[in-house]
Amino acid sequence: MKKIQLNLEFTHATYDELDSQHQALIDAAREANTRSYAPYSHFNVGAAILLDNGEVITGANQENVAYPSGTCAERSACFYAHAQFPDVRFKAIAIAARGTDGNEVADPIAPCGACRQALLEYETLAQSPVEVILVGNKNILIIPSVKDLLPLAFAHFE
Ligand SMILES: [Zn+2]
Protein backbone atom coordinates (compact mmCIF):
# COMPACT_ATOMS: atom_id res chain seq x y z
CA MET A 1 0.00 0.00 0.00
CA LYS A 2 1.23 3.50 -0.79
CA LYS A 3 -0.09 7.03 -0.83
CA ILE A 4 -0.26 8.80 -4.16
CA GLN A 5 -0.41 12.55 -4.47
CA LEU A 6 -1.90 14.52 -7.34
CA ASN A 7 -0.64 18.01 -8.09
CA LEU A 8 -2.44 20.79 -9.91
CA GLU A 9 -0.24 23.34 -11.62
CA PHE A 10 -1.91 26.38 -13.15
CA THR A 11 -1.24 29.97 -14.10
CA HIS A 12 -2.49 33.04 -12.29
CA ALA A 13 -2.64 36.14 -14.46
CA THR A 14 -4.27 39.48 -14.93
CA TYR A 15 -6.07 40.35 -18.15
CA ASP A 16 -3.30 42.73 -19.25
CA GLU A 17 -0.66 40.02 -18.92
CA LEU A 18 -2.39 37.76 -21.44
CA ASP A 19 -1.92 37.61 -25.20
CA SER A 20 -4.60 38.86 -27.58
CA GLN A 21 -5.98 35.37 -28.27
CA HIS A 22 -6.64 34.75 -24.56
CA GLN A 23 -8.07 38.26 -24.16
CA ALA A 24 -10.42 37.74 -27.11
CA LEU A 25 -11.73 34.48 -25.66
CA ILE A 26 -12.24 36.13 -22.27
CA ASP A 27 -14.04 39.04 -23.94
CA ALA A 28 -16.33 36.53 -25.68
CA ALA A 29 -17.14 34.76 -22.39
CA ARG A 30 -17.85 38.10 -20.70
CA GLU A 31 -20.12 39.12 -23.56
CA ALA A 32 -21.87 35.73 -23.47
CA ASN A 33 -22.87 36.12 -19.84
CA THR A 34 -24.97 39.12 -20.83
CA ARG A 35 -27.14 36.63 -22.73
CA SER A 36 -27.63 34.27 -19.82
CA TYR A 37 -31.18 33.33 -18.86
CA ALA A 38 -31.02 33.19 -15.08
CA PRO A 39 -34.30 34.46 -13.60
CA TYR A 40 -34.00 32.13 -10.59
CA SER A 41 -30.36 32.30 -9.50
CA HIS A 42 -29.61 35.77 -10.98
CA PHE A 43 -26.12 34.37 -11.50
CA ASN A 44 -25.09 34.98 -15.07
CA VAL A 45 -22.41 32.76 -16.56
CA GLY A 46 -20.90 32.85 -20.03
CA ALA A 47 -18.55 30.42 -21.69
CA ALA A 48 -16.54 30.77 -24.89
CA ILE A 49 -14.87 27.85 -26.63
CA LEU A 50 -12.01 28.29 -29.07
CA LEU A 51 -12.03 25.62 -31.74
CA ASP A 52 -9.06 24.40 -33.73
CA ASN A 53 -10.48 26.10 -36.84
CA GLY A 54 -10.42 29.48 -35.10
CA GLU A 55 -14.16 29.65 -34.50
CA VAL A 56 -15.31 30.87 -31.09
CA ILE A 57 -18.56 29.33 -29.86
CA THR A 58 -20.29 30.87 -26.86
CA GLY A 59 -22.94 29.71 -24.45
CA ALA A 60 -24.69 31.03 -21.37
CA ASN A 61 -26.52 29.36 -18.52
CA GLN A 62 -30.14 28.65 -19.37
CA GLU A 63 -32.36 28.12 -16.36
CA ASN A 64 -35.81 26.59 -16.24
CA VAL A 65 -38.70 26.73 -13.80
CA ALA A 66 -38.10 22.98 -13.39
CA TYR A 67 -34.59 23.64 -12.09
CA PRO A 68 -32.82 20.43 -13.24
CA SER A 69 -34.04 21.05 -16.79
CA GLY A 70 -31.75 24.05 -17.16
CA THR A 71 -28.09 23.83 -18.03
CA CYS A 72 -24.83 25.60 -17.33
CA ALA A 73 -22.99 27.94 -19.67
CA GLU A 74 -20.17 25.46 -20.23
CA ARG A 75 -22.46 22.65 -21.38
CA SER A 76 -24.59 25.04 -23.41
CA ALA A 77 -21.41 26.09 -25.25
CA CYS A 78 -19.76 22.70 -25.65
CA PHE A 79 -22.88 20.89 -26.86
CA TYR A 80 -23.60 23.63 -29.38
CA ALA A 81 -19.95 23.72 -30.52
CA HIS A 82 -19.82 19.99 -31.09
CA ALA A 83 -23.22 19.99 -32.79
CA GLN A 84 -22.01 22.66 -35.23
CA PHE A 85 -18.44 21.38 -35.72
CA PRO A 86 -18.39 17.68 -34.83
CA ASP A 87 -14.98 17.10 -36.43
CA VAL A 88 -13.17 20.10 -34.99
CA ARG A 89 -11.11 19.89 -31.84
CA PHE A 90 -11.65 22.13 -28.84
CA LYS A 91 -8.57 24.14 -27.88
CA ALA A 92 -9.69 26.27 -24.92
CA ILE A 93 -12.69 27.42 -22.95
CA ALA A 94 -13.07 30.66 -21.01
CA ILE A 95 -15.73 31.03 -18.31
CA ALA A 96 -16.86 34.38 -16.90
CA ALA A 97 -19.64 35.13 -14.42
CA ARG A 98 -21.56 38.06 -13.02
CA GLY A 99 -23.01 37.83 -9.55
CA THR A 100 -26.42 38.82 -8.29
CA ASP A 101 -25.25 42.46 -8.04
CA GLY A 102 -24.64 42.47 -11.79
CA ASN A 103 -20.90 42.89 -11.46
CA GLU A 104 -18.31 40.41 -12.57
CA VAL A 105 -17.18 38.13 -9.77
CA ALA A 106 -13.84 39.14 -8.27
CA ASP A 107 -12.54 35.61 -8.10
CA PRO A 108 -13.27 33.19 -10.89
CA ILE A 109 -15.80 30.43 -10.68
CA ALA A 110 -14.90 26.92 -11.81
CA PRO A 111 -17.08 24.52 -13.80
CA CYS A 112 -19.42 22.26 -11.82
CA GLY A 113 -18.75 18.54 -11.76
CA ALA A 114 -21.20 17.74 -14.54
CA CYS A 115 -19.60 20.33 -16.84
CA ARG A 116 -16.13 18.98 -16.05
CA GLN A 117 -17.31 15.54 -17.13
CA ALA A 118 -18.90 16.93 -20.30
CA LEU A 119 -15.82 18.97 -21.20
CA LEU A 120 -13.56 15.98 -20.56
CA GLU A 121 -15.43 14.11 -23.28
CA TYR A 122 -14.40 16.73 -25.85
CA GLU A 123 -10.84 16.87 -24.54
CA THR A 124 -10.67 13.09 -24.98
CA LEU A 125 -11.98 13.44 -28.54
CA ALA A 126 -9.46 16.19 -29.23
CA GLN A 127 -6.61 13.95 -28.02
CA SER A 128 -4.92 17.08 -26.76
CA PRO A 129 -5.38 19.31 -23.72
CA VAL A 130 -8.22 21.83 -23.65
CA GLU A 131 -7.13 24.87 -21.68
CA VAL A 132 -9.63 26.13 -19.10
CA ILE A 133 -9.56 29.87 -18.45
CA LEU A 134 -11.41 30.93 -15.31
CA VAL A 135 -12.18 34.63 -15.31
CA GLY A 136 -12.68 37.02 -12.43
CA ASN A 137 -12.29 40.77 -12.52
CA LYS A 138 -9.22 40.58 -10.27
CA ASN A 139 -7.84 37.15 -10.93
CA ILE A 140 -7.66 34.93 -13.98
CA LEU A 141 -6.65 31.30 -13.61
CA ILE A 142 -5.49 29.19 -16.53
CA ILE A 143 -5.73 25.46 -16.01
CA PRO A 144 -3.73 23.50 -18.63
CA SER A 145 -6.37 20.84 -19.23
CA VAL A 146 -9.86 19.67 -18.29
CA LYS A 147 -8.31 16.47 -16.95
CA ASP A 148 -6.54 18.56 -14.32
CA LEU A 149 -9.95 19.61 -13.01
CA LEU A 150 -11.32 16.08 -12.95
CA PRO A 151 -8.70 13.62 -11.80
CA LEU A 152 -9.77 9.98 -11.57
CA ALA A 153 -12.67 10.78 -13.88
CA PHE A 154 -15.26 8.30 -14.99
CA ALA A 155 -14.26 6.88 -18.35
CA HIS A 156 -15.69 4.14 -20.50
CA PHE A 157 -14.02 4.55 -23.85
CA GLU A 158 -13.02 0.96 -24.73
ZN1 LIG B 1 -21.94 23.20 -14.89
- For residue 118, the CA-to-ligand 1 centroid distance in Å is 9
pLDDT of the residue at 104: 96
Helix (H) / strand (E) element for 128: namely none
Each residue of 112-151: pLDDT tens digit? 999 999 999 999 999 999 999 999 999 999 999 999 999 9
Q: Which CATH architecture has domain 11-149?
A: 3-Layer(aba) Sandwich (3.40)
Each residue of 49-73: pLDDT tens digit? 999 999 999 999 999 999 999 999 9
pLDDT of the residue at 157: 60
Give the number of other Cβ atoms within 10 Å of residue 45's Cβ: 27
Q: What distance lies between CA 135 and its chain's CA centroid?
A: 10
Active site (annotated) includes residue 104: no
Domain ranges of the chain: 11-149
- For residue 112, the CA-to-ligand 1 centroid distance in Å is 4
Rounded to an integer, the average pLDDT of 82-89 is: 98
pTM: 0.95
List residues, by chain if needed, whose CB lies under 5 Å from ion ligand 1: 72, 112, 115
> Among 17, 55, 74, 158, which one carries the catalytic annotation?
74
